[in-house]
Amino acid sequence: MSALSAPSFRWAFLFLLGLLVGCSKSDFERFREEAEKGNADAQVFVGNCYALGDGVSKDIRQAMSWYHKAAMQGHAQAQCDLGVRYLYGLDVAKDEIEAYAYFALAGPSNEQASKNLAFLQNQLSGDNRLLGLKRKKELQDEMAASRARKAERPDGQLPQSSSGSQKEKSGKNSEVYRAEFAAYKAKAELQGDASAQYQTGVCYFNGYGVTVDEVESFKWYSKAAEQGHAGAQLALGGCYYAGKGVAKDEIEAYAYWSLAAANYPAMFAETVAELQNKMPTDIRLLGQKRSKELQKEIEAKMAAKKAGK
C-alpha cells in the first residue's frame, strides 16, 4: 500500500460528500420534493443540504436519515459516503465496524468503497471484521424489506431491479444530476460564481450528469481556486498529487492543500496536516514557498476583478 492510501485521499471524499455544495432554498425545496418521491439521488442531495445547513437549517440527524434512505435503495455512493462518515467520525461517532459494513455493501460497484474496505481489512481484527460482515447482512436485510415495502406502495413505484425505467431515474446520468450539472455550469459560465465553478468541476470529475472529463474538471477547479474557493483548492491539490487532469506535481499539491487549510481551517486543517506530514521534507519546504506565491497570485487576481479590470 502506498504512503497515501485510499483513506488518506480524504480530499476526494470531502468533495464527494458535498461539504461545500452551494444550495439555495429553492434548490432544497425542489430536491426535497423529489427525495420524498423516492429518488435516491435527490435524497443524497437533500442530505448534503442538511449536513451543511445550505438552503435549510443544519440538522445532522436529518442528513444521516436521508443518506440512509438512499443507501437502503442500493445507492452505492450514499453507502460509500456513510462509510466515510463513520470511518473518520464526520458529524457522527467514529465506528469502524459500521464503516466496514457500508463499504462492503457498496463494493465492488464503487471503487472508493472497495479501496476503503481493503484498508479496513488490514486494520481491523478478525473478530471486528466478522462483526462488520454481520452488520452488512443486517443492512442487506433492511434493504430487502425496504424494497418489498416500496413494491407494495399504491403509487406503483417499483424497486430498482423490477423496472428498467427505474434505472433512468437514478445513477450518475439521472435527470436530477443532468439538471443539476446544467444549472451549475450555466451559473459558472455566465456569472463566474466560484461555488458553481467548483461544482461543475465535481460533476466532470465524477460523471454526475455529464461524461467524465478530468481535464475539464481540473479547469473548473482552477477557476474556482483562483477566487479563493477552499474546496476547489483542496480538490486541485488532489488532482496534482494523483495526476488527474494535469501532470503529477507533489509540490503544487502541497501548495494548494496549504491554501485550502489556511482559507478554511475549521474544515480542512486536520485533513491537510495528515496529508502533508506524509510527504518528504524537501517537498514540504518547496510546497510552502509555492503556497505563498499562489496566495499572492490569487489576491492579485481577486483585487483586479474587484477593480473591474
List the chain domain ranges: 6-167, 175-306
Rounded average pLDDT over 277-291? 88
Neighbouring C-alpha atoms within 13 Å toward the C-beta of 21: 28
Angle between helices 214-225 and 230-242 (to 10 degrees): 140
Rounded to two decimals, the pTM is 0.51
The domain made up of 175-306 has a fold known as 1.25.40
Domain pair 6-167 / 175-306, same fold: yes
Q: Phi and psi (nearest 5°) for 277?
A: -65, -15
Tens-digit pLDDT profile for residues 220-241: 999 999 988 888 888 888 889 8
Give the max Cα distance, the chain. Answer: 65
Query: DSSP alpha helices (H): ranges in 124-193?
Result: 126-151, 164-167, 175-191
Q: CATH homologous superfamily for 6-167?
A: Tetratricopeptide repeat domain (1.25.40.10)
Classify residue 159 by its DSSP letter: P
Of residues 92 and 252, which shows the higher confidence score? 252
Task: Calculate the CA 192 to chain-centre distance.
Answer: 22
SS3 state at 279: coil
Is the Cα torsion angle 101, 167, 34, 50 positive or negative in sign? positive
Under a CB-based contact definition with an 8 Å cutoff, are residues 264 and 272 in contact?
no
| Residue 15 pLDDT > 60 | no
Count the residues in the chain: 309
pLDDT at 156: 36
Closest CA to 200 of 188, 211, 192, 212: 188
- List all residues 6 or more positions away from 237 whose beta carbon is below 8 Å from its beta carbon: 11, 252, 253, 254, 255, 256, 257, 260, 272, 275
Closest CA to 16 of 69, 105, 77: 77
Residue 186 to residue 46: CA distance in whole angstroms:
21
Of residues 285 and 49, which shows the higher confidence score? 285
Peptide bond into 108 cis (omega under 30): yes
pLDDT at 138: 92
